[in-house]
Amino acid sequence: MKNWIHVFSVIDFISAGILLTAVAMNALRRLESCVKAYSLNSWLLSLLVAMTALVVGETHLYIASLVTFLSKGVIIPVFLRRIVKQMKVTHEVEPYISNAMSLTISGILVAIVYGSLKQGIFVTGFSRNVLQISIAVIFIGLFIMITRKKAITQVIGLLFMENGLFLAGFSLTYGMPTLIELGVLFDMLMGVIILGIFAIQIKRVFASADLDKLTTLKG
Amino acid sequence: MLPVLIIPLTTALACYALRRTRWTGYAGLAGAVSLTVFSIPAVVSSISSPMEGMGGMLYMDALSAYMMSLVVFLSLASAVYSIGYLEHEQKAGLIDRKGVGRYFALLNLFVFTMLLVTVANNLALMWIAIEATTIVSALLIGLGVTKRELAIEAAWKYIILCTVGITFALLGIFITYYASTAVIGTLGALNWTVLKSIASQLNPATMKLAFIFVLVGYGTKAGLAPVHNWLPDAHSQAPSPISALLSGILLNTAFYGIMRFVSIVQPSTGEMFTGSLLIIFGLVSIGISSIFILVQDNYKRLLAYSSIEHMGIISLGFGIGGPAGMYGALLHILNHALSKPLMFFASGRIQARYGTTRIEKVNGVLSSMPLLGILTFIGALSLSGAPPFNIFISEFTILMAAVDRGLWFVIGTFLFFAVMVFYGILSGFGRMLFGADQKAPHPWGQGVSGSSGENKTESGFWTICSNAVMIVMAMLIVVLGLTIPDFIDSTIRASIQALGVK
């Protein structure tokens, strides 16, 4: 009865959506849209986990899906939006390189990941796409972190990396034991909150939300 | 084992609850003392026979005990030092009373997370604990951030770089989980104890990939070059007692993660693979840091780069492997955990007296503060690797291990950089220690450029408690340079066995 998941390659579609929301980060100009892209990405991630749970039928996956949705899909986006509002920054992302360039580079990243994981050493029950997409999302997140000026965009890049990581974990082993999963999520939540606090401090002390100002410590 | 984890947590809560009163420092001290008392039986009993706790989530063998005793010792030392240090900061208006309460609460949380790293039996639990150390210590670095803008920059860099790095380590752990579930299914597939018993059956290709991710991830946290950029900033901007903890033990807890990981990767991939990677990372760290040590004009940053160098040496010793190399590496962890905190404690005093961290602005520490000067001198000699101090002994052990293996290129490179470091550290601290103290009143009456430093005078209480801590550490440095006591020797040997080396 769960054939429809296979018949319509639901898992492939969802993971393609995850990749697309990550790639879209390259073209988005407003911080609010970046936060939206992230929440969409997290919702898709938790949907994917839920679908996997339907296929495999393990309770701990349902829990993981719910927890992912609540933490990454609700709490973190709400928190990020509040910070964006509180910082009263200009709402532009201000990348170091042009959008076209940045889209091209992420396209190349995806191609490299697909190329190098082709005859991979990993054999899982999943469609192979999922693992490749997850690694690609990790790299796109990293790429976004190093090419954007705003403190908040760095945090969002980091969050994309972590979403990619979770996806990789699921595609490899159907996720970790629940307790561990919760611990990792808790750490992440704390990390994001503290980064948010520091971002506000940066804004207050340097009178700018750009990381360009953080260049005093060298050598 | 459980009381050891519970005490710092309750102390943290108590300090936070008492943050409006003057008693937080003493609560922190009481917590550190009781932690020391309660940790002794756990440490002693687990050296001879490993123990488990919390349904297999926690595990303690000789290596855990070794690391744990270092964490406990340094947390006690920095609790004692912190009381005076914060009193001084409070007088200087750098922190308020609530800030002190927050500081001690965070300090104890920090100690808790590091203790959790040492006793975690589960790969992922250890990852969680290591990530938690980043989060808590970033707060400690950025404490009182509104007054020191550089500290925000340092804390931001620190948390971003380390979190990215450690994300890769988690990927490595996922891959390990994948490899081990293929052998035994999901039950206990992430536990050291289980993984060690099936280590030789794991798929070598998968484990190689996992090891690279974990080495890069935890290596970032352990301050191995070329992913060390956060370290000099964080260590130089943190309050001195925190720098001491970061440098003395936090780096080592991250490296402890690598050590444990090596012990489960090696049986399937062979010693060559892990060993050569560790040697390369080690040599690159030693090389890069030695150059920065030579040109450094800030003494706290100089000490931070010296930490990178010593982490490189530990990695080198561990990579050379065999009982001798590991013995050297583990001994080096202990020696570095004594010398570096001593220097950071001393630099906190120097910074308070001279109001600067620039080497050329500090002169004649030996004549203005003779006792502190002598202690700093001992620490600097030890750090630079001069005989007959402790670090010389462990570096020599590592070199002997390399000679046994015939790694002549490694030996040559290491010696070359060691000479550079020797010169860099001694010339830097030599300039600070010797010469006339410009702040001291001139022999014939009038003060020379000393008036600006008047508000920086030290409080007597801080002098007493920091001197006490530093004298104990300096004595240990001297003793360990002359002889290695039996109980340390046997603990290190038991730790090597715990890592599965014959």
Nearest to B160 among A158, A168, A184 (CB): A158
Residue B363 scores a pLDDT above 90:
no
In this complex, do B127 and A184 lie within 8 Å of one another by their Cβ atoms? yes
In this complex, do A162 and B167 lie within 8 Å of one another by their Cβ atoms? yes
pLDDT band at B196 (very low <50, low <70, confident <90, very high): confident
Average model confidence (pLDDT) across chain A: 83
- Angle between the N-to-C axes of helices B123-141 and B149-184, in degrees from 0 to 180, rounded to the nearest 10: 180
- Nearest to residue A130, comparing CAs of A42, A24, A19? A19
Average pLDDT over residues B84-108: 86
pLDDT more than 70, % of chain A: 86
Average pLDDT over residues A13-39: 89
pLDDT band at B69 (very low <50, low <70, confident <90, very high): very high
Instruction: Give the up-direction half-sphere exposure of residue B89: CA atoms within 13 A in the CB hemisphere.
Output: 24
Instruction: Give the up-direction half-sphere exposure of residue A69: CA atoms within 13 A in the CB hemisphere.
Output: 13
CA distance A87 to chain B (A): 16
In this complex, do B164 and A190 lie within 8 Å of one another by their Cβ atoms? no
Q: B-chain residues within 8 Å CB-CB of A180?
A: 122, 124-125, 128, 190
Asked whether the beta carbons of B343 and B389 are under 8 A apart, the reply is no
**φ and ψ at residue B60, rounded to 5 degrees:** -135, 115
A122 touches chain B (CB under 8 A): yes
pLDDT band at A42 (very low <50, low <70, confident <90, very high): very high
Residue bearing the bigger pLDDT, B444 or B255: B255
Q: Return the bridge partners of B120, or none.
A: B58
- Nearest to residue B272, comparing CAs of B314, B309, B319? B319
- Nearest to residue B190, comparing CAs of A119, A59, A176, A89? A176
In this complex, do A217 and B232 lie within 8 Å of one another by their Cβ atoms? yes
How many whole angstroms separate alpha carbon A162 and alpha carbon B394? 39
- Nearest to residue B218, comparing CAs of B255, B250, B173? B255
Nearest CA in chain B to A192: B135
Q: Would strands B58-60 and B51-53 be described as parallel, antiparallel, or unpaired?
A: antiparallel
pLDDT of residue A198: 85
In this complex, do A184 and B175 lie within 8 Å of one another by their Cβ atoms? no
CA distance A29 to chain B (A): 23
pLDDT of residue A57: 79
* For chain B, domain boundaries: 276-439+453-502
Residue A201 scores a pLDDT above 90:
no
Residue B117 scores a pLDDT above 90:
yes
Asked whether the beta carbons of B351 and B237 are under 8 A apart, the reply is no
Instruction: Give the up-direction half-sphere exposure of residue B214: CA atoms within 13 A in the CB hemisphere.
Output: 31
Average pLDDT over residues A123-142: 81
- Nearest to residue A204, comparing CAs of A122, A88, A91? A88
pLDDT of residue B128: 93
- Give residue B120's identity as a one-letter amino acid code: A
Average model confidence (pLDDT) across chain B: 88
pLDDT of residue B429: 92
How many whole angstroms separate alpha carbon B72 and alpha carbon B64? 12
pLDDT band at A116 (very low <50, low <70, confident <90, very high): confident
- Of A77-91, A187-201, B255-269, B314-328, give the lowest mean pLDDT range: A77-91
Q: Where are the alpha helices (DSSP H) in B369-448?
A: 370-384, 390-405, 408-433
How many whole angstroms separate alpha carbon B473 and alpha carbon B248? 12
pLDDT of residue A180: 81
pLDDT digits (tens, 9 = 90+) for B126-184: 999 999 999 999 999 887 655 677 888 888 889 999 999 999 999 999 889 888 888 88
Q: Report how far apart, in Å, the C-alpha atoms of A149 and of each of A87, A96, A155, B165 are.
A: 15, 7, 11, 20
pLDDT of residue B454: 41
Taken as a whole, chain B contains a residue count of 502
Average pLDDT over residues B295-324: 93
In this complex, do B156 and A216 lie within 8 Å of one another by their Cβ atoms? no
Instruction: Give the up-direction half-sphere exposure of residue B312: CA atoms within 13 A in the CB hemisphere.
Output: 28
Residue B453 scores a pLDDT above 60:
no
Q: B-chain residues within 8 Å CB-CB of A173?
A: 174, 177-178, 181, 186
User: What three-state secondary structure class fits B61?
Assistant: coil
B355 Rama class: left (phi>0) / alpha (psi -120 to 50) / beta: left
CA distance B446 to chain A (A): 37
Extended strands (E) in B30-106: 51-53, 58-60
In this complex, do A169 and B145 lie within 8 Å of one another by their Cβ atoms? no
Average pLDDT over residues B252-274: 92
- Nearest to residue B231, comparing CAs of B219, B215, B214? B219
Taken as a whole, chain A contains a residue count of 219
CA distance B210 to chain A (A): 12
In this complex, do B167 and A138 lie within 8 Å of one another by their Cβ atoms? yes
B50: preceding bond cis by omega (within 30 degrees): no
How far does CA A205 lie from the centroid of its chain? 29
pLDDT of residue B459: 63
Residue A87 scores a pLDDT above 80:
no
B403 touches chain A (CB under 8 A): no
pLDDT band at B438 (very low <50, low <70, confident <90, very high): low
How many whole angstroms separate alpha carbon B183 and alpha carbon A201? 49
How many whole angstroms separate alpha carbon B138 and alpha carbon B103? 12
Residue B422 scores a pLDDT above 80:
yes
User: Six-digit token pair at A213?
Assistant: 């100002």
Q: A-chain residues within 8 Å CB-CB of B170?
A: 165, 169, 184
User: Residue with structure tokens 């190399």?
Assistant: B325
pLDDT of residue A202: 81
User: Residue with structure tokens 């910082």?
Assistant: A87
Q: What is the DSSP string of A16-37?
A: HHHHHHHHHTTT--BHHHHHHH
B134 touches chain A (CB under 8 A): yes
pLDDT of residue B455: 43
H or E element in which residue B52 lies: strand B51-53
B176 touches chain A (CB under 8 A): no
User: What three-state secondary structure class fits A52?
Assistant: helix
Asked whether the beta carbons of B43 and B57 are under 8 A apart, the reply is no
pLDDT band at B364 (very low <50, low <70, confident <90, very high): confident
User: Six-digit token pair at B293?
Assistant: 């040590």
H or E element in which residue B60 lies: strand B58-60
Residue A9 scores a pLDDT above 80:
no
The model carries a pTM of: 0.91
In this complex, do B237 and A154 lie within 8 Å of one another by their Cβ atoms? no
Residue bearing the bigger pLDDT, B214 or A2: B214
DSSP state of B451: G
A216 touches chain B (CB under 8 A): yes
Q: A-chain residues within 8 Å CB-CB of B205?
A: 121
Q: Where are the alpha helices (DSSP H) in A69-150?
A: 76-87, 99-116, 128-147
Q: B-chain residues within 8 Å CB-CB of A190?
A: 132, 135
Buried b (16+ CB within 10 A) or exposed e, B98-136: ebbbbbbbbbbbbbbbbbbbbbbbbbbbbbbbbbbbbbb
Q: Report how far apart, in Å, the C-alpha atoms of A219 and of each of A3, B304, B374 are.
A: 60, 11, 29
Average pLDDT over residues B312-332: 93
Nearest to A172 among B152, B175, B295 (CB): B175
pLDDT of residue B120: 92
Nearest to A183 among B128, B203, B301 (CB): B128
pLDDT band at A2 (very low <50, low <70, confident <90, very high): low
- Nearest to residue A150, comparing CAs of A218, A199, A210? A210
How many whole angstroms separate alpha carbon B305 and alpha carbon B293? 6
H or E element in which residue B58 lies: strand B58-60
pLDDT band at B449 (very low <50, low <70, confident <90, very high): very low
- Which residues have a Cβ under 8 Å from the Cβ of B50 and sit 6 or more positions away? B59, B60, B61, B62, B498
How many whole angstroms separate alpha carbon B227 and alpha carbon B224? 6
pLDDT digits (tens, 9 = 90+) for B224-239: 988 888 999 999 889 8
Q: How many beta-carbon contacts under 8 Å exist across A and B?
A: 117
How many whole angstroms separate alpha carbon B76 and alpha carbon B38? 13
Q: A-chain residues within 8 Å CB-CB of B127?
A: 184
3-state SS track over B210-253: HHHHHHHHHHHHHCCCCCCCHHHHHHHHCCHHHHHHHHHHHHHH
